[in-house]
């Protein structure tokens, strides 16, 4: 799970690719965890705050920059994805998507779970967004717009680009 933080609020993002995986007894090391820090320090401190932490997949990498193991972790979150097939993935990586949702959350400061998925066609365009749960209608509209405007690397099924859903689950919290 990734936790997004800016100032006095926090947003936890959980996409299927970011869910914690249980380590097997024969695993030598626990899975790597990645974080994303803000670009500029806030007033009063030169230390960069963590925006996202505890992700099993690097937030600032494109799909092509992920290692074989990171891609395996990503694929393992999809039901029945054969070896050689790939899920859809934001062209610029996860960071821009999560940063946009974090900015929306900073304005609304709502608490709850946002659960949605984007239907990504064989060209990498989002054709529809389905919302399963949301704490606020304004958040729903804004997050759906962000997903609709995000360009994706299309999924690959049997060696050819195909349509597939990209799930996104965001747990929103506010720390005072």
For the stretch 3-14, pLDDT in tens is 444 444 444 444
For the stretch 81-136, pLDDT in tens is 888 899 999 999 999 998 898 889 888 888 899 999 999 999 999 999 999 999 99
Cβ atoms of 13 and 1 within 8 Å: the answer is yes
CA gap 81, 104 in Å, rounded? 33
Distances (CA, A) of 158 to 90, 120, 133: 20, 17, 32
Q: State both tokens at 32.
A: 């790597």
Residue 160 in this model has a pLDDT that exceeds 90:
yes
Residue 20's pLDDT band, with cuts at 50, 70 and 90, is very low
pTM of model > 0.85: no
Among 5-9, 39-43, 108-112, 142-146, which stretch is predicted with the lowest mean pLDDT? 5-9
Domain ranges of the chain: 2-173
Q: 150: how many CB neighbours lie within 10 A of its CB?
A: 22
Residues present in the chain in total: 176
């Amino acid at each position: 799970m990734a936790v997004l933080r800016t100032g006095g609020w926090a947003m936890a993002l959980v996409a299927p690719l970011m869910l914690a995986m249980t380590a097997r007894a024969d695993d030598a090391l626990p899975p790597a965890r990645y974080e994303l820090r803000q670009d500029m320090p806030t007033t009063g401190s030169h230390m960069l705050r963590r925006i996202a932490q505890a992700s099993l997949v690097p937030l600032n990498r494109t799909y092509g920059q992920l290692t074989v193991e990171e891609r395996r972790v990503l694929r393992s979150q999809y039901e029945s994805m054969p070896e050689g097939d790939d899920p859809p993935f934001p062209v610029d990586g996860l960071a821009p998507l999560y940063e946009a949702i974090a900015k929306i959350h900073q304005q609304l400061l709502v608490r709850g779970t946002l659960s949605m998925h984007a239907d990504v066609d064989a060209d990498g365009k989002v054709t529809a967004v389905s919302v399963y749960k949301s704490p606020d209608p304004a958040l729903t509209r804004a997050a759906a717009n962000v997903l609709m405007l995000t360009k994706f690397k299309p999924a690959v099924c049997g060696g050819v680009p195909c349509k597939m859903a990209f799930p996104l689950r965001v747990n929103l919290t506010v720390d005072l």
